[in-house]
Amino acid sequence: MRVLWLSPWLRPLARVHADALRSAGHEVRIVTSDQHPESGPARPDEWVLDPRPKQPSTYRPFLRVRSEVAAFGAEVVVTELVRDPRWLTLGRGLPRIDVVHDDRPHDAAEQRPRWERAVFDRWQSRSDLTIFFSRFVADAVGREPRVVVPLSSDVADAAVPPFVEADGRRDFVLSGRLNDYKNIPVALAAWRLHRSGPHHRGDRLVLIGDGDVPHDLPEGVRWQRGPFRYADELTTLARAKGSLVHYRRATQSGVQMLAMQLGVMPVVSPEGALPELQPSGGPVVGVDDPRGLADALDTLADPHEAVRAGRVARRAYLDRHAQSRVAAALSDAVAQAAAGRRGRSTAR
């Protein structure tokens, strides 16, 4: 089928999903924007727009793309975090799949204006099918009909560096948007306990990303501040002994998926879908338990244990979240949405 994927904000993940559908025999085009720091140059399968309807200069490019979208002749449209009312006209009348990542905002920065909720919430809920990436979010939102698709990392498999063995393992990482929901004070308290104990092996805790981080960081903590590109940080992330995904509020986490894809064990809290997606036996620590988090750091500080756990994480990713599994699930969703629309038309 010809599939149109509208994703203004999550461009790297939309590319992964488009490639997965393409591997299953579908023809896919993406409408997106340059909002994501990983955007880079446009691919041949992308139309890139500026999703700011208040800017007059954005209308001419939008009208051109709308015409080209119509010529593409999509049979199914997928919508993902669409916030520009003009985009509602792209693929209008086609069977539509809506993609939902979160059951609620993580923090105040993710709260949408009232007009956005009024315009988009009802439109999203009237899709022919909703894709979720965890049972937790699917049950919390409660929308039907629905399908749960394996959550993928938004890094292409071809970009993943080789698995790092014990002699190359060093440091722990905490990455992404470093705001309050990332539970950084507890992470720092746990780091102090770990660093002052007998199991510290000279590692650092490396914070990667922009956000709200205390200025008086403990010894052994390095903050690489600012937006980052995966190409610049994959080596640091892949050689880590563990990745802290110990959030106070969570739905599911691409950071958790990336760690597993790289062969690094994530350390998660019991919030949202984090334990649902955690590798079997992987550490799950209460959000207000710095001692428990320090114990997890103590264990993974042994490079041989970090490698053993990393292999478990990598195998879990390949078994549950590999492109072939994502492709099969997305392809089934496309067929289900199209068949559901045809069935309702026949019934009428």
Domain boundaries, the chain: 2-154+323-347, 157-321
Residues 6 or more apart whose Cβ sits within 8 Å of residue 327: 20, 21, 23, 24
The amino acid occupying position 264 is V
**In Å, how far from its chain's centre is CA 224?**
21
pLDDT of res. 106: 57
- Which positions of the chain have pLDDT values less than 50? 345-348
pLDDT of res. 271: 96
Q: How far is CA 346 from CA 17, 193, 335, 338, 340, in A?
A: 30, 65, 16, 12, 10
Phi, psi of 265 (to 5 degrees): -75, 125
Q: What is the rounded CA–CA span in Å between residue 136 and residue 251?
A: 7
The model carries a pTM of 0.91
**Is-same-fold flag (2-154+323-347; 157-321)?**
yes
Whether residue 49 contacts residue 33, with contact meaning beta carbons closer than 8 Å, is answered with yes
Q: Class assignment of domain 157-321? A: alpha beta
pLDDT of res. 208: 95
Q: Two tokens at 121?
A: 């919430």
pLDDT in tens, 200-240: 999 999 999 998 888 889 999 999 998 788 888 999 999 99
Percent of the chain exceeding pLDDT 90 equals: 78
Helix (H, G, I), strand (E, B) or coil at 242: strand
Q: Two tokens at 222?
A: 């390095």
Q: What is the rounded CA–CA span in Å between residue 278 and residue 276?
A: 6
Helix (H, G, I), strand (E, B) or coil at 223: strand
pLDDT of res. 117: 74
Residue keyed to tokens 């080596």: 235
**In Å, how far from its chain's centre is CA 105?**
14
Whether residue 203 contacts residue 220, with contact meaning beta carbons closer than 8 Å, is answered with yes
Length of the chain (residues): 348
The domain 2-154+323-347: what is its CATH number?
3.40.50.2000
